[in-house]
Amino acid sequence: MKARDLGREGRDANPATTFAPGEAVVHPVHGVGWVEGLREEAIGGERLVLICLSFEAARLQLKVPRDKAARVGLRPLSTPRIMEQVLAVLRGRPKVSRGAWIKRGPEYEAKVTSGDPRLVAEVLRDLGAALIGPETSFSEQKIAKAALDQLAGELAALTGTHRAAAVASILAVLAEAKAGHDRSGSGSTEARGAVIAV
């Protein structure tokens, strides 16, 4: 299998489906990663342009065919505007579902791996108590943590902070929201105490 690095000519061939080396990107399953570069490789008799990615948090390296990047959900970091929408979701009142977990669990997992940070935020909003609640199930805790990891990784990359600081900020938003909901009872569904600069 032969491979060669692509220069700027290769990167500019189709701007809509290429990612620049050094750019932070988001994979729907692996979270935030970094573009190491583009390589052209012959695979199965076909020459493909591959996006070479590294995911520090997962200690993973991955190659994604450039023409399939959108299909697998690879995308740039969210804009500050979208992140504000994410924070608004986190501040909302959790939606309590009475359905069976065998159905709700896969629905939450699908949101976490959807690639849409607003859907990931919905999971964290609804299952946030699972991160600290002693009576929550292992499955709830696992999904809630996955949602937290996804959002914290992207927030850290977007704001240039450490992941631990992003985790603390998100948990602070959830805590402030819960306190506000407890105070308001059936009133306001938003809490504005915790602020994250994006």
Judge if 27 and 46 occupy the same domain: yes
pLDDT recorded at residue 46: 85
Q: Give the pLDDT mean for 104-120.
A: 95
List the CATH number of the domain containing 37: 2.40.10.170
Judge if 52 and 132 occupy the same domain: no
pLDDT recorded at residue 184: 74
Asked if the structure places residue 196 within a domain, the reply is no
Asked if the structure places residue 93 within a domain, the reply is yes
Judge if 63 and 85 occupy the same domain: no
Asked if the structure places residue 198 within a domain, the reply is no
CB-based burial label for 53 (10 Å; 0-12, 13-18, 19+): buried
Residue from 29, 55, 34 nearest 146 by CA? 29
DSSP assignment of 124-139, as one string? HHHHGGGGT-TTS-HH
Tell me the residue range of the domain where 35 lies.
Answer: 3-76
Residue from 187, 191, 198, 159 nearest 173 by CA? 191
List the CATH number of the domain containing 143: 1.20.58.1290
Judge if 155 and 66 occupy the same domain: no
Judge if 93 and 125 occupy the same domain: yes
Give the CA angle between residues 89, 90, 95 to the nearest 5°. Answer: 75
Q: Domain count for the chain, please give it.
A: 2
Residue from 183, 131, 170, 162 nearest 56 by CA? 162
10 pLDDT above the threshold of 50: no
pLDDT recorded at residue 13: 34
Q: pLDDT per residue over 137-195, tens digit each?
A: 889 999 999 999 999 999 999 999 999 999 999 999 999 988 888 787 644 444 444 44
Judge if 104 and 154 occupy the same domain: yes
Three-state DSSP class for 50? strand
Asked if the structure places residue 8 within a domain, the reply is yes
pLDDT recorded at residue 11: 36
> pTM score, two decimals?
0.79
Q: Give the pLDDT mean for 128-135.
A: 72
Judge if 27 and 105 occupy the same domain: no
- Strand spans (E) along the chain: 3-5, 24-27, 31-43, 46-55, 60-65, 75-76
Q: pLDDT per residue over 36-72, tens digit each?
A: 999 999 888 888 999 999 998 778 999 999 989 989 9
Q: pLDDT per residue over 74-90, tens digit each?
A: 999 999 999 999 999 99
CB-CB contact of 122 with 160 (8 Å): no
Boundary residue ending a domain (76, 103, 120): 76
User: 134 falls in which pLDDT band (50, 70, 90)?
Assistant: low
Tokens of residue 141, six digits: 């805790």
Pseudo-torsion of CA 127, 129, 135, 141, nearest 10°? 50
Beta bridge partners of 76: 25
